[in-house]
């Protein structure tokens, strides 16, 4: 079997064409082949066939189409349509499908070109292009599928063509590709890479005038079609052709007569200043940022005349500025000025504006006796000199606006690019500068940087090591460049060998030291750190002790032991210096390497007692704020144990249940990290209290695996404290989470251990809690009589301890067990007693649970209308309280059963759909059962 989509849909078996006459069957097969060997959902197939408005019977119709396709295709090798939830996939090998074969060759050809294997790239890509028979999916009448797939496929084909031509140009075959290029630029007039290849081929064929004419034509087409100037590659190539750049000559030696033609041209009579330091050949990523900078080359009305590139140390501000400036050089025929202002460097004093202006005036041969002594007059002379020129001024590493303003050119044809670790808001506000903020590289961009420095052959041999290196460097270009330099210096050394030192946070900054102060990560961070105020520097050090990821203002104030207002101001200063990243109005984050540097500074400059006190205040903040948040959500709960905060602790006061729930969700990762760190650093009281405080929140959100991890840490911490009450409490928590995870035998063990400890302590309420847990565990193990005994014992102990909330829950438990054993008459009064107590206590969650028990009892009695009323009471109460799992989704399933029995299938389906959403959001296996029931009802 052979099948093709790179043209009209074609199926061939043993050299015989297998016709697929039905249009919609062709759409189904094409949609499956477009994502060959991957599942395509029924919804996705329906969209491909009918667009956004599928027929009501779409799924059944698609199944018929697939059945007919299977009959048409027969039992043939190489192609098989497989049913796979939530739809179908077509199994086909690379050798049996033109799209898969093309994709394999396409990727291999691009990889060869990236590695500089030009002959291999040519051969492989030309083989790939021979697989095309015409317009892809030419006879597949699906606008949705064609709109999605044809641009992708034709884009790959065009890139293969361009890369193949580039490879042939690299091999000196300009004349051979010229005819193809002349045809391609007509077919694809906006494809600048093809125009550049045509210009280069013409130039190398001794047709310089034609190459320049091709540029003029391209410029006119771009202006008329999309209203833009040619990009940097075309403009730079045009400038090089104008000056007969010998580096553009083909690698094969030309004839002497040709050489004479190629090397003639006018020599500039004057030398304009070109002060730019060398730039790296290519940079990774930064596409959007380069686009912003390129907008400066038009008229002043078309774009900004000043751009400010800001970002943290080592993020590549200078690299970006220099790369763009070199590429844009042709637009500034009167010169390119450059100055390192030393705002953040190893020198103690930044360069003054007077020094920089003198340097610039000297470049233009202004006599010393004509340079005024006053800065204002110097700036006026400098601007007058540039007023009629087209000059680009690059001001690198500026500290503040005052250092930059006197150096800005005033001429309408001049442009300025400023780099700084500060955002220089004043230039944006007053001079209308365009801000360009640089962040760290994405994972793909970081890999691209390592590929460009080390070669894809080496990086491709160790993909896991590359992934780990990019993660440990945090996407910081400086760190990645240092790692690449170290690896390049030792080409036979496995990349994985670089990981051990980087993984150790204490040695990571040492590993990122290239032996040059200007390129050491620690050094460039220190230049920003030295410029901070005392309070901002202190807070930065304290942030190195933070146990989680991002940090709130209140948490930062607790770490530093300072007033919240002071912490807010210090965070603002750190954000302006790009030493922290402001993520929201209240949350700040640190780059991983800056966090390591902050820890390094804290260890060096803060003594052990100060560091210990800072961590204690932070843990107090998380514990006390979490306790307040959970109490807002469940006001009837009893705090685990009162804790007196250390002086300087800031506690967030949450206004209501919604803000409490939002805080818990935002801080979830930090709270987990706080538990682990508390146990590691010896704060065992926090290590057991914080998980116990968070129990209700974790349970209501079904975050049971997180709860289990925290609870194990809590139990170990309580045992280290030799605190019997704490140990019993945490064992009971282990029992609770074991039940949620479907491990009733483990739960029974933990509850039994807790019960024995509570008996030793003489704590009737603790014993009652343990009996309640044992009752649920024994019920799930199938021991209903034993479960009933534990429920009755729990109720008696709650009465003895005077715990009304416990009694309410115990009555509900009894009602549940009586329902399970068939004593419905006994279950109903127990449930009503529980409802009365929960209502008196204002425990609406408890009421919701009890309505669920009452609903099941009425359902088993065959009283479906009453059961439905009870279930809706359960759902409304639990939904209002944010309980999205307990009884909520389960009640929706039970409701569906009642509606189905009563013949209301629409209501039954609606309930099941709601339950499915809950289960899928929680990633619960119950979703599969609900989905099956929905299909049955359909």
Task: Tell me the per-residue pLDDT of 841-878, one tens digit each, with 9 for 90 and over.
Answer: 988 888 989 999 999 999 999 999 999 999 999 888 88
Mean pLDDT of 776-796: 94
pLDDT at position 341 over 80: yes
- Hey, is 437 helix, strand or coil? strand
First to last CA, the chain: 37
How much is the average pLDDT of 343-371?
A: 78
Distances (CA, A) of 579 to 236, 386, 529: 36, 36, 8
CB 655 within 8 A of CB 629: no
Distances (CA, A) of 358 to 201, 381, 454: 45, 10, 42
For residues 774-779, give the mean pLDDT: 94
Residue 605 confidence (pLDDT): 92
Give the mean model confidence (pLDDT) for residues 798-814: 94
Coil vs helix vs strand at 506: helix
CA separation for the pair 915, 924 (Å, rounded): 11
pLDDT at 233: 80
Residue 492, pLDDT > 70, answer yes
Q: What percent of the chain has a predicted confidence (pLDDT) above 70?
A: 93
pLDDT score recorded for residue 771: 95
Interatomic CA distance for residues 664 and 131, integer angstroms: 56
Of 110-114, 717-721, 809-813, the one with minimum mean pLDDT is 110-114
Rounded Cα distance, 334 and 274, in Å: 9
Write the DSSP symbol of residue 13. E
Within 10 angstroms of residue 789's Cβ, the number of other Cβ atoms is 16
User: Does pLDDT of 53 surpass 90?
Assistant: no
Give the span between the Cα atoms of 865 and 315, in whole angstroms: 66
Residues 6+ apart with CB under 8 A from 193: 162, 233
Alpha carbon of residue 68 to chain centroid: 43
Give the per-residue SS3 of 612-668: HHHHHHHHHHHHHHHHHHHHHHCCCCCCCCCCCCCCCCCCCCCCCHHHHHHHHHHCH
The string of DSSP codes covering 59-121 is HHHHHHHHHHHHHHH-S-TTEEEEEETTEEEEEE-GGGBHHHHHHHHHHHHHHHHHTT-HHHH
Identify the pLDDT of residue 650: 94
Q: From CA 212, how far away is CA 207, in angstroms rounded? A: 9
Give which of 872, 813, 894 is closest to 846, Cα–Cα. Answer: 813
Contact call for residues 46 and 66 (beta carbons, < 8 A): no
**Residue-wise pLDDT tens digits, 899-927:** 999 999 999 999 999 888 888 877 777 88
pLDDT band for position 885 (cuts 50, 70, 90): low
The residue among 23, 1, 28, 142 whose CA lies nearest residue 87 is 28
pTM strictly above 0.75? no
* Position 259 pLDDT exceeds 50: no
Environment class of 185 (CB within 10 Å of its CB; exposed 0-12, middle 13-18, buried 19+): buried
pLDDT at 883: 57
| Partner residues linked to 336 by β-bridges | 274, 392
Across all residues in the chain, what is the average pLDDT? 86
In this predicted structure, which of 172-176, 312-316, 501-505 has the lowest mean pLDDT?
Answer: 501-505
Q: Report the alpha-carbon distance of residue 690 to residue 626 in Å, rounded.
A: 8
pLDDT for the residue numbered 720: 96
Output the pLDDT for position 257. 36
What is the radius of gyration, based on Cα positions, of the chain?
Answer: 36
CA distance 404 to 307: 12
**How many other β-carbons are positioned within 10 Å of the β-carbon of residue 176?**
13
Residue 261 — pLDDT band, cuts 50, 70, 90? Answer: very low
Contacts of 222 (CB under 8 A, 6+ apart): 190, 192, 228, 229, 230
354 SS3 class: helix
Length of the chain: 938
For residue 274, the model assigns a pLDDT of 84
């Amino acid at each position: 079997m052979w099948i093709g989509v790179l043209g009209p849909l074609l199926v061939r078996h043993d050299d015989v064409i297998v016709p697929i006459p039905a249009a919609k069957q062709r759409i189904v097969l094409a949609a499956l082949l477009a994502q060959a060997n991957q599942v395509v959902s029924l919804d996705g197939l329906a969209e491909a066939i009918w667009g956004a408005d599928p027929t009501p019977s779409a799924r059944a119709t698609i199944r018929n189409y697939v059945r007919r396709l299977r009959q048409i295709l027969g039992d043939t090798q190489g192609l098989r349509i497989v049913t796979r939830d939530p739809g179908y996939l077509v199994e086909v090998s690379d050798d049996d499908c033109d799209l898969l074969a093309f994709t394999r060759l396409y990727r291999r050809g691009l990889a060869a070109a990236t590695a500089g294997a030009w002959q291999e790239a040519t051969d492989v890509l030309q083989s790939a292009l021979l697989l095309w028979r015409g317009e892809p999916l030419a006879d597949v009448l699906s606008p949705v599928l064609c709109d999605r797939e044809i641009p992708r496929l034709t884009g790959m084909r065009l890139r293969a063509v361009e890369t193949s031509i580039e490879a042939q140009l690299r091999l000196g075959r300009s004349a051979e590709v010229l005819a193809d290029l002349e045809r391609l630029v007509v077919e694809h007039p906006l494809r600048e890479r093809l125009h550049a290849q045509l210009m280069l081929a013409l130039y190398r064929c001794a047709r310089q005038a034609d190459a320049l004419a091709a540029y003029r034509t391209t410029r006119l087409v771009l202006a008329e079609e999309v209203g833009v100037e040619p990009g940097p590659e075309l403009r730079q190539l045009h400038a090089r052709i104008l000056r007969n750049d010998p580096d553009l000559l083909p690698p094969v030696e030309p004839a002497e007569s040709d050489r004479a033609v190629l090397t003639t041209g006018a020599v500039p009579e004057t030398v304009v200043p070109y002060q730019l330091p060398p730039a790296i050949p290519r940079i990774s990523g930064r596409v959007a940022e380069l686009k912003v900078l390129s907008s400066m080359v038009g008229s002043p009305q078309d774009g900004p005349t000043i751009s400010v590139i800001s970002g943290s140390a080592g993020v590549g501000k200078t690299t970006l500025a220099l790369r763009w400036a070199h590429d844009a050089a042709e637009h500034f025929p009167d010169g390119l000025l450059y100055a390192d202002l030393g705002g953040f460097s190893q020198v103690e004093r930044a360069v003054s504006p007077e020094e920089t202006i003198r340097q610039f005036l000297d470049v233009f041969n202004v006599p010393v006796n004509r340079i005024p002594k006053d800065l204002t007059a110097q700036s006026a002379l400098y601007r007058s000199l540039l007023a009629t020129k087209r000059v680009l001024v690059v001001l690198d590493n500026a500290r503040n606006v005052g250092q930059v303003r006197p150096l800005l050119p005033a001429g309408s044809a001049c442009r300025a690019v400023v780099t700084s670790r500060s955002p220089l808001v004043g230039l944006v506000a007053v001079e209308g500068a365009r801000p360009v903020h640089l962040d760290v590289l994405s994972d793909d961009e970081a890999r691209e940087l390592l590929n460009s420095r080390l070669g894809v052959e080496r990086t491709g041999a160790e993909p896991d090591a590359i992934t780990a290196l990019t993660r440990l460097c945090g996407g910081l270009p400086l760190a990645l460049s240092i790692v690449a330099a170290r690896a390049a210096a030792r080409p036979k050394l496995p990349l994985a060998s670089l990981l051990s030192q980087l993984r150790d946070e204490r040695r990571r900054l040492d590993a990122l030291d290239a032996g040059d102060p200007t390129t050491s990560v620690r050094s460039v961070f220190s230049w920003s750190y030295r410029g901070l105020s005392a309070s901002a520097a202190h807070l930065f050090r304290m942030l190195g002790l933070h146990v989680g990821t991002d940090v709130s203002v209140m948490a930062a104030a607790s770490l530093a032991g300072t007033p919240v207002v002071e912490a807010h101001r210090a965070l603002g200063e750190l954000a302006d210096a790009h030493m922290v990243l402001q993520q929201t109005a209240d949350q700040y984050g640190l780059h991983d390497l800056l966090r390591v540097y902050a820890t390094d500074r804290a260890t060096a400059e803060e003594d052990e007692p100060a560091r210990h006190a800072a961590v204690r205040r932070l843990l107090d903040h998380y514990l006390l704020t979490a306790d307040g948040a959970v109490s807002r959500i469940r006001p009837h709960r009893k705090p685990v144990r009162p804790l007196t905060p250390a002086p300087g602790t800031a506690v967030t006061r949450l206004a209501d249940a919604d803000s409490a729930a939002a805080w818990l969700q935002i801080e979830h990762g930090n709270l987990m990290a706080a538990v682990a760190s508390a146990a590691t650093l010896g704060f065992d009281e926090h290590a057991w209290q914080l998980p116990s405080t968070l129990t209700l929140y974790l349970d209501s959100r079904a975050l049971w695996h997180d709860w289990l991890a925290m609870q194990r840490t809590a139990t170990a911490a309580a045992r280290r404290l030799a605190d019997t009450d704490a140990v019993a409490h945490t064992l009971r928590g282990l029992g609770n989470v074991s039940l949620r995870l479907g491990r009733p035998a483990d739960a029974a063990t933990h509850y039994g251990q807790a019960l024995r400890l509570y008996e030793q302590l003489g704590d009737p309420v603790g014993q009652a809690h343990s009996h309640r847990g044992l009752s649920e565990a024994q019920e799930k193990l199938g021991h209903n009589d034993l479960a009933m005994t534990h429920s009755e014992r729990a109720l008696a102990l709650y009465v003895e301890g005077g715990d009304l909330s416990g009694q309410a829950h115990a009555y509900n438990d009894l009602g549940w067990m009586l329902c399970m054993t068939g004593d419905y008459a006994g279950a109903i009064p127990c449930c009503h007693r529980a409802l009365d107590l929960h209502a008196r206590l204002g425990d609406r969650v408890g009421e919701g649970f009890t309505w669920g028990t009452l609903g099941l009892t009425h359902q088993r009695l065959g009283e479906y209308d009453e059961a439905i009323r009870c279930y809706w009471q359960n759902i409304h109460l639990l939904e209002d309280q944010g309980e999205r799992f307990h009884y909520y989704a389960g009640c929706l399933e039970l409701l569906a059963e009642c509606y189905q029995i009563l013949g209301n299938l629409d209501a039954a389906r609606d309930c099941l759909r709601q339950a499915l959403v809950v289960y899928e959001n929680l990633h619960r296996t119950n979703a599969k059962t609900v989905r099956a029931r929905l299909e049955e009802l359909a």
